[in-house]
A and B are shown apart, each in its own frame.
Chain A
Amino acid sequence: MAAEPLPADVAALHYRIRQMEHQIEEYEDTLGAIRRGEIDAVVVSDSAGENRIYTLESADRPYRVLVEQMQEGAVTLREDGTVLYCNRRLAGMLGIAHERIVGQTLQQFLLPDHIADFDKLLNEAKRAAARSELTFLAASGAEIPVYVSLSVLHDDDLTLMCGVLTDLTEQKTHLAEVADANARLLNEIAERERAEDALRQAQKMEAIGQLTGGIAHDFNNMLQGITAGITLAHQRMIAGRTEKAAALLDAALNAANRAATLTQRLLGFGRRQALDPKLVVLDDLIGGMHGLIQQTVGPTVRLDLRLQDRSWPVRCDPNQLENALLNLVINARDALPAGGGVIGIATAHAALDPADTANWEGAAPGEYVRITVSDDGTGMPPDVIAHAFEPFFTTKPDGQGTGLGLSQIYGFVRQSHGMVKLDSVLGAGTSVHLYLPRAKAQLGDQDADEAPESGPAPVRTAGPVTVLLVEDEPTIRGLAAEALRELGYRIIEAVDGPAGLKALQQAVRPPAPARINLLVTDVGLPGGLNGRQLADAARSLAPHLPILLITGYGGDVITGQDLLGPEMAILSKPFTLEALARKVQGMIDHAKVK
């Protein structure tokens, strides 16, 4: 039979049959698979054409296992909180059998105080997922902190609440441990701060001990100087050798000046001292202090002064500079062996360029005058040098140094825009260099207030002013006279009332009256004429003579200015020489104005 070509519709039919065979094969496969249970889910279209997926139990299992075994409690709730489903973890968390939870409201297992919060959360969850921390009560009575996350599950007509509950006990325990550790740490810090406070207090007490010990020692030395000078002077005066007595009294005065310097230092340490900078020529200042320095260091020490011939002027507080020099000299002396040695004091001009100051903290290039105080004593090891400028640091035996000297010098020099440098070699000696900036002004430029300070004490150019000093106590008279002479006054001394009156009469007697500008008299005088009577007599001789009465009796004997009369003043013992000087100057100035 010959093969005829198939008409087109036959070919189409063949294709169609093949397609249908495939489809039937597919359906048979599907039916077979369903029969054999080789599938997990069947897709079914409902009357509205919506797909639903019917899951076989075996397919659900992993989710079931997931929900049952996960570490969080899981529940589904009705809108009122009734538990429809709860997983094993929640049952375990609460320690309550699973079947005793389902069908109850979840509220029943909450701490009563938290029920209202839960109801609120439930309401919020109907709008959007809501979360909160609530406390549940376990069967054991234990309170369990739980983080509750609620959301609404819409499944067709059924509205379910779905909750995930995380037990926070472990986390809280951990937090509590952290808090505990933190509290312990804070305790330790507080403990340590207490210990540090105690240590600081102890250090402070030690420092104060050093300070007071040092002061007591220094004062004792100075008192020794004063007492010895006065005693010797007294003996010589008794022996009639008065010309030697003056030098001894000078020594006593120097010791007293040093005591005053120490009190200045203490005041300076208490707060930053107000400096009174003036133009100072260092060579003149040091030259003027030579005697004082030699007395301070004692006869076994040789002073080697190497001064410039008229050094550049510097601007600083001359009193502070004197203090600084004395301090350095005392340090140098203490570094020398008992047998003595050499202390050098030198001045030099020093022009520092940037290369000189590059590695020198706080130093600025420029022109300086350098003062060097050096000794050939014990020197300092590096660890001592490192602390040398610290307040209260001292290497002197307990109670013998204040530990203030160098720190104060450092403070003063820095305040004066200068630098301090310390060179020391153990066993070979120490040099301390003070660099003070050269003053811009020349000596000729200064105004009247800026007279260059060139002596150890401020010298007042008082003109020819004469003071009659009547005092029976020779130490007081000598010291007072010395102090007033230092201020430039001419002093006539008298030992009792009659002697004073005699001096007054001589002064007013023509033809060459040696004018007396001020009478300073003790009130309690021997010789039948006391200070008050002397004052009256003086007024009759010179009606406008200013009179300063000195009394050891306080204010009771002569009370009130009205009883004193014009141009009269009173000064109570004990008084400082400065107070005396101020009073005397004040009265003379007042009289001059008149």
Chain B
Amino acid sequence: MAYRLRLVVAGSSLRAQRAIENLRRICDGRLRGRVDLEVIDIYQQPQLAQEYQVIAAPTLVKLLPLPVRRIIGDLSEEERVLRGLEIILLAPDDSDGS
């Protein structure tokens, strides 16, 4: 798994639903098969907010590859998400597995 992503949401709000939908679309696209994703409800596991240094929800946290990056919001702009997570730079070379 090249990417370890954690999506931190607050319950099952409309925004949380949108964030989950958007992230799923991104992962099913160019990152298909290379994502280890967990969706964390901040109400159920508030201690993870501190561990991931999340100050608002929803927030997507990229734990791997380093460096750790966070992007806040409903993840509706895909390019912004990929740029924010520095994924776009790695993507072209990833196809040959290097």
Asked if A61 is at the interface of the complex by the 8 Å CB criterion, the answer is: yes
Which B positions have Cβ atoms within 8 angstroms of A? 9-16, 42-43, 46-47, 49-50, 54-58, 67, 69-74, 84
Q: Give me the 8 closest cross-chain CB pairs, A-B, nearest first.
A: A41-B10, A40-B10, A39-B56, A43-B49, A33-B72, A59-B13, A41-B57, A38-B73
Query: Which B residues are in CB contact (< 8 Å) with A61?
Result: 13
Asked if A514 is at the interface of the complex by the 8 Å CB criterion, the answer is: no
Assembly CA distance A25 to B72 (angstroms): 11
B69 is contacted by which of A22, A43, A53, A59 (Cβ under 8 Å)? A22
Q: Are B67 and A19 in contact (CB under 8 A)?
A: yes
Query: Which A residues are in CB contact (< 8 Å) with B57?
Result: 39-43, 53
Q: How many A-B residue pairs have CB under 8 A?
A: 83
Query: Which A residues are in CB contact (< 8 Å) with B50?
Result: 43, 45, 51
Q: Are A51 and B47 in contact (CB under 8 A)?
A: yes
Q: Are B74 and A58 in contact (CB under 8 A)?
A: no
Q: Are A38 and B42 in contact (CB under 8 A)?
A: no
Query: Which A residues are in CB contact (< 8 Å) with B16?
Result: 40, 59
Asked if A62 is at the interface of the complex by the 8 Å CB criterion, the answer is: yes
Asked if A450 is at the interface of the complex by the 8 Å CB criterion, the answer is: no
| Further pairs besides A42-B57, A55-B10: 7, Cβ < 8 Å | A29-B84, A39-B57, A40-B10, A40-B15, A40-B16, A43-B56, A59-B10
Asked if A17 is at the interface of the complex by the 8 Å CB criterion, the answer is: no
Enumerate 19 A-B pairs (CB-CB under 8 Å) in ascending A order.
A26-B70, A30-B70, A34-B56, A38-B72, A38-B73, A39-B72, A40-B9, A41-B42, A41-B57, A43-B42, A43-B50, A43-B55, A53-B10, A53-B42, A53-B57, A59-B10, A60-B11, A61-B13, A63-B11
Nearest Cβ in chain A — how far from B61, in angstroms? Answer: 11
Number of interface residues of A (CB under 8 A): 25
Give chain A interface residues in 269-288, CB to chain B under 8 Å. none
B43 is contacted by which of A25, A30, A53 (Cβ under 8 Å)? A53
Query: Which B residues are in CB contact (< 8 Å) with A63?
Result: 11
Query: Which B residues are in CB contact (< 8 Å) with A45?
Result: 50
Which A positions have Cβ atoms within 8 angstroms of B? 19, 22, 25-26, 29-30, 33-34, 38-43, 45, 51-53, 55, 58-63
Residue of A nearest to B55 (CB): A43
Q: Are A22 and B67 in contact (CB under 8 A)?
A: yes
Nearest Cβ in chain A — how far from B76, in angstroms? Answer: 9
Assembly CA distance A60 to B47 (angstroms): 20
Assembly CA distance A39 to B9 (angstroms): 9
Q: Are B15 and A58 in contact (CB under 8 A)?
A: yes
Residue of B nearest to A66 (CB): B12
Query: Which A residues are in CB contact (< 8 Å) with B43?
Result: 53
Assembly CA distance A63 to B69 (angstroms): 31
B12 is contacted by which of A22, A39, A55, A62 (Cβ under 8 Å)? A62
Query: Which B residues are in CB contact (< 8 Å) with A55?
Result: 10-11
Assembly CA distance A22 to B66 (angstroms): 13
- Given contacts A29-B71, A30-B56, is CB(A58)–CB(B84) below 8 Å? no
Assembly CA distance A117 to B3 (angstroms): 57
